[in-house]
Amino acid sequence: MRLLTNKRLFLFLIFASIYLIYSFAFAADTTAGESSQTGGHVGPILNILLELIIILLAAKLGGDLFERFHQPAVLGELVIGMLVGNLHLIGFNLFSTFGHDLTLEILAELGVIILLFEVGLESTVKDMMKVGLASFMVAIFGVVAPFFLGWGVGYFFLPHESIYVHIFIGATLTATSVGITARVLKDIGKIQTREAKIILGAAVIDDILGLVILAVVAGIITAVSSGGEGISSIAILWIIVKAILFIVGAIVVGVFVLPHFFKAAFRLKVKGVFLSVCLLICFAMSYLAGMIGLAPIVGAFAAGLILEEVHFKDFRERDVHSIQELISPIATFLVPIFFVRMGMLVDLTTFTQVEILGFATVMTIVAILGKQVCSLAIFDKSTNRIAIGLGMIPRGEVGLIFAGIGAKLMLDGHAVISKSTYSAVVIMVIITTLVTPPLLKISMLREDKNAAKSAQQ
Residue 418 has pLDDT above 50, yes or no: yes
Residue 225 has pLDDT above 70, yes or no: yes
Give 346-404 pLDDT, tens digit per residue: 888 888 889 899 999 999 999 999 999 888 888 877 788 888 888 888 887 778 888 88
Residue 153 has pLDDT above 90, yes or no: yes
Give 160-212 pLDDT, tens digit per residue: 998 989 999 999 998 787 667 777 777 677 777 878 888 877 877 787 788 88
pLDDT band at 68 (very low <50, low <70, confident <90, very high): confident
pTM: 0.78
pLDDT band at 3 (very low <50, low <70, confident <90, very high): very low
The span from the CA of 193 to the CA of 237, in Å, is: 40
Residues sharing a CB contact under 8 Å with residue 319, sequence separation 6 or more, in sequence order: 274
pLDDT band at 157 (very low <50, low <70, confident <90, very high): very high
Of the candidates 379, 386, 421, 391, the residue with the CA atom closest to the CA atom of residue 404: 421
pLDDT of residue 228: 57
The span from the CA of 371 to the CA of 364, in Å, is: 11
pLDDT band at 4 (very low <50, low <70, confident <90, very high): very low
Residues sharing a CB contact under 8 Å with residue 153, sequence separation 6 or more, in sequence order: 169, 359, 362, 363, 366
pLDDT band at 97 (very low <50, low <70, confident <90, very high): confident
pLDDT of residue 16: 59
Give 48-59 pLDDT, tens digit per residue: 888 898 899 989
Give 85-95 pLDDT, tens digit per residue: 888 888 777 77
Q: How far is CA 444 from each of CA 94, 271, 310, 432, rounded to the nearest angstrom? A: 47, 47, 35, 18
pLDDT of residue 331: 92
Give 235-281 pLDDT, tens digit per residue: 778 878 888 888 888 888 888 888 888 888 888 878 888 889 899 99
Inter-residue contact 423 to 203 (CB < 8 Å): no
Q: Decide: residue 140, CB within 10 A, 0-12 exposed, 13-18 middle, 19+ buried.
A: middle
Residue 218 has pLDDT above 80, yes or no: yes
Average pLDDT over residues 107-116: 90
Residue 7 has pLDDT above 80, yes or no: no
pLDDT of residue 451: 60
Average pLDDT over residues 23-51: 61
pLDDT band at 223 (very low <50, low <70, confident <90, very high): confident
The span from the CA of 420 to the CA of 425, in Å, is: 9
Q: What is the mean pLDDT of the chain?
A: 81
pLDDT of residue 1: 44
Q: In degrees rounded to 5, what are phi and psi of residue 298?
A: -65, -45
Q: Which residue has the higher pLDDT, 43 or 407?
A: 407
Which stretch, 4-13, 62-71, 107-116, 445-454, has highest mean pLDDT? 107-116
DSSP 3-state of 61: helix
* Least trusted range by pLDDT, from 12-26, 107-121, 148-162, 200-214: 12-26
Residue 318 has pLDDT above 60, yes or no: yes
Q: Which residue has the higher pLDDT, 156 or 260?
A: 156
Residue 339 has pLDDT above 50, yes or no: yes
